[in-house]
Chain A
Amino acid sequence: MSGVKLEGVVKSYKDVTVVHGIDLEVKSKEFVVLVGPSGCGKSTTLRMLAGLEEISDGQVSIDDKVVNHIAPKDRDVAMVFQNYALYPHLSVAENIAFGLRIRKVPKPRIEELVKEVAHTLELTSLLERRPADLSGGQRQRVAMGRAIVRHPKVFLFDEPLSNLDAKLRTQMRAEIKQLHTKLGVTSVYVTHDQVEAMTLADRIVVMSDGRIEQIGTPMELFNNPINTFVATFIGSPPMNLISTTITSIDGLVYADISGNKCLLPQLENPCDLEVIIGIRPEYVDIVPVDNSSAVPIHVDLVETLGSEALLHCRIQESAFVVKVDTHGKVEHLKHLDTLYFRQDAITVFDKTTGRALSRSSVGCNA
């Protein structure tokens, strides 16, 4: 129905290129999250979609129609801004109605639509207030209301939750997710918070330096990061990376970690001697299991989170974090001296390019 397609989209300001040819297809009703570090071009990409920035090269289509030269208002998109962009001199109701008034929708119809949206977002009792008299979360909801009241083809969100405190953010995140399920409108959402990306997205687009690193469902990115950048960006705490050398014995590949041999997954082309192996803090075992290799460690610190604890330890002088279930006790964790790496929990990356040489099969087993 109303998909969005970017083909080789480039954005340059004079001689600096900030987006280097992006290809992305967002299917109808899909919720896609663009995530990446600050300055990687997420907002720029979104603003090109909205028509707020000109496209230097490539093609953007909405609903199979090329919109490169179509004015923002004719693209039938709605955008929610980080700072809400509410009109300070208008009441909540007038703010929500603004876009409809501009489009000369008949008055009674506007009233009806505003009421409907206010009901959906639980703003009914606030309709007469000015934005200045609202809390952060309420303002955020008004901004959402202004977007959904027009029933656009595509929603664009630019870090809509980053001005809220942690608790409210979690709550609004859930509300956005519910709203999307209810309305089923194609959405593109920008954030630098990977937790937001993981929880909201049907598919995540990880960007860095104006390029797409990887596109996939949250679990695909979590289990099979295509390179070390995605590996460390997705997941919290991030994937542990250990720089090491590999040897091949009897067709099996081993890595040398602190003098111990650690069994690695099968590699397509196990000729590189220098690699980086990655393992998620959640996938490390503290007791031996099948196909696991022992690795000696030194525990520096145990951070207790309640049901879980983070072990900050050292392997070959580099920091290494493990997330373990406490089952109510943490004392024994402080004296741990060995960890067990399951073969299928390890991802191997090329040391020079950072690209994954193996695909972890954890996700597939589960």
Chain B
Amino acid sequence: MENEQSYQVINESPRSKKLTWLIHHFQREWRLYIMLAPTLIWFILFLYKPMYGLQIAFKDYSVFKGITDSPWIGLEHFYTLFENDQFIRAIKNTVIISGASLLFGFPVPIILALMFNEIINPKFKKTAQTIVYLPHFISAVIIAGIVITAFAPSTGVVNLLLNALGYDSVYFLTKPEWFRTIFVGTGIWQEAGFNSIVFLASIAGVNPSLYESAVVDGASRWQMMWKITLPCIMPTILIMLIIRIGNILEVGFEMIIMLYQPATYATSDVISTFIYRQGLQAAQYDLAAAAGLFNAVIAFVLVIAANTISKKVSRTSLW
């Protein structure tokens, strides 16, 4: 059997050789492809097919003419965008808000995971974990509702607290200087616990005899955390960081929509909300598509860059 096959292969041209290989490959592995299919289909339908519509970013799109028949206008929309102060402001706000989320939000789950890891009493540990995971499962609308209520000028807990301390009430949600703090803080409160799961799993994967060996060597818990736990979960931290950097331009859109108001646009209007207002509210689909495309290209470059740097620096990379 084997000999016969290889004999055939030798006589065939390289192209049909590849084809034979492919046929054999499918015969052998078709089950894996079937399992892969739902994901592939999802990607094609919801991520690749819409890409066809991206061309309207370079067209003077009209709903009546349709995507194909609208005339090409080159980079016109991009010029318009970059002449638009609101778009420039949206880019700036996106970068600042994401940067702050990353800077303040990224370390929190790691710290939480390290802290959970130090809790010895299992009951206390479970309770504490449940409490910090909980906000993740609440829908954004309710979270926004909670935030709005908490910061309400006359009845919100925050202002009641301020009043009790002898300060005047502040209507936080109308103050552009407070928006970023509130938004970033809300994000951390909602997701830090849940995001810590990844790091906890990674910590659980650290070989326990490393700790035992360190105990015999005389290391304290604090030293073990710094010298063993952290370095051992560093690959996970870096992977998560790469993913976060890739998503840096994707600021939680629903949350901003629900928390911002024209009074705070100066600090709160980000690219996605800008696209939403231009595209859906003002029906300038082509301009919005151009803004979205710009966003995607930057994100793409960021992921590649972060991955490359990480690969060089720490041998860890997504691909």
Smallest CB gap from A50: residue in B: B216
Q: Does A229 contact B (CB under 8 A)?
A: no
Smallest beta-carbon distance A154→chain B, Å: 11
B232-243 CB contact bits vs A (8 Å, 1 = yes)? 101000000000
> What residues of chain B lie closer than 8 Å to A205, measured between beta carbons?
none
Q: Does A102 contact B (CB under 8 A)?
A: yes
Q: How far is the CA of A83 from the CA of B211 in the complex (A)?
A: 13
A81-B209, A102-B223 given; A87·B228 CB < 8 A: yes
Q: Does A78 contact B (CB under 8 A)?
A: yes
In contact, A83 and B217 (Cβ under 8 angstroms) = no
Q: How far is the CA of A102 from the CA of B210 in the complex (A)?
A: 14
> What residues of chain B lie closer than 8 Å to A52, measured between beta carbons?
212, 215-216
Q: How far is the CA of A150 from the CA of B232 in the complex (A)?
A: 24
Q: Which of A73, A81, A146 contacts B218 (CB 8 A)?
A: A73
A81-B209, A85-B207, A102-B223 given; A73·B216 CB < 8 A: yes
Q: Does A6 contact B (CB under 8 A)?
A: no
Residues facing B in A77-96 (CB within 8 A) are 77-79, 81-83, 85, 87-90
Report the number of A-B residue pairs with Cβ-Cβ less than 8 Å.
58
Q: Does A98 contact B (CB under 8 A)?
A: yes
Q: Does A335 contact B (CB under 8 A)?
A: no
Q: Does B219 contact A (CB under 8 A)?
A: yes
> What residues of chain B lie closer than 8 Å to A87, measured between beta carbons?
210, 227-228, 231
Q: Does B213 contact A (CB under 8 A)?
A: yes
Smallest CB gap from A81: residue in B: B209
In contact, A99 and B218 (Cβ under 8 angstroms) = yes
In contact, A72 and B228 (Cβ under 8 angstroms) = no
In contact, B212 and A102 (Cβ under 8 angstroms) = no
In contact, B214 and A102 (Cβ under 8 angstroms) = yes
A52-85 CB contact bits vs B (8 Å, 1 = yes)? 1000000000000000000011100111011101
Q: How far is the CA of A98 from the CA of B214 in the complex (A)?
A: 8
Q: Which of B212, B218, B219, B223 has the most CB of A within 10 A?
A: B218
In contact, A72 and B216 (Cβ under 8 angstroms) = yes
The 8 closest A-B pairs by CB, nearest first: A73-B218, A99-B217, A89-B231, A85-B213, A85-B209, A81-B209, A79-B216, A102-B219
In contact, A73 and B212 (Cβ under 8 angstroms) = no
> What residues of chain B lie closer than 8 Å to A79, measured between beta carbons?
212-213, 216
> What residues of chain B lie closer than 8 Å to A85, measured between beta carbons?
207, 209-210, 212-213
Q: Which residues of B contact A (CB under 8 A)?
A: 207, 209-210, 212-219, 223, 227-228, 231-232, 234
Q: Which of B212, B219, B223, B234 contacts A81 (CB 8 A)?
A: B212
Binding site secondary structure of chain B = helix
Q: How far is the CA of A156 from the CA of B7 in the complex (A)?
A: 60
Smallest beta-carbon distance A133→chain B, Å: 11
Q: Which of A74, A77, A89, A146 contacts B234 (CB 8 A)?
A: A89
In contact, B218 and A103 (Cβ under 8 angstroms) = yes
Q: How far is the CA of A88 from the CA of B213 in the complex (A)?
A: 13
In contact, B216 and A98 (Cβ under 8 angstroms) = no
What are 7 inter-chain pairs, A to B, with CB distance below 8 A?
A52-B212, A72-B216, A73-B218, A78-B216, A79-B212, A83-B209, A99-B217
Q: Which of B207, B215, B223, B234 contacts A83 (CB 8 A)?
A: B207
Q: How far is the CA of A150 from the CA of B218 in the complex (A)?
A: 11
> What residues of chain A lie closer than 8 Å to B234, measured between beta carbons?
89
Q: How far is the CA of A305 from the CA of B175 in the complex (A)?
A: 89
Q: How far is the CA of A87 from the CA of B216 in the complex (A)?
A: 14
Q: Which of B207, B215, B227, B231 contacts A72 (CB 8 A)?
A: B215
Smallest beta-carbon distance A83→chain B, Å: 6
Smallest beta-carbon distance A161→chain B, Å: 16
Q: How far is the CA of A90 from the CA of B213 in the complex (A)?
A: 14
Smallest beta-carbon distance B194→chain A, Å: 27
> What residues of chain B lie closer than 8 Å to A103, measured between beta carbons?
217-218
> What residues of chain A lie closer than 8 Å to B214, measured between beta carbons?
98, 102
Q: How far is the CA of A82 from the CA of B212 in the complex (A)?
A: 12
Smallest beta-carbon distance A11→chain B, Å: 16
Smallest beta-carbon distance A232→chain B, Å: 31
In contact, A88 and B215 (Cβ under 8 angstroms) = no
> What residues of chain A lie closer than 8 Å to B213, measured between beta carbons?
79, 81, 85, 146
Given A73-B219, A77-B216, A90-B231, output 7 extra A-B contacts at Cβ < 8 Å: A52-B215, A52-B216, A78-B216, A79-B212, A83-B207, A102-B214, A102-B219
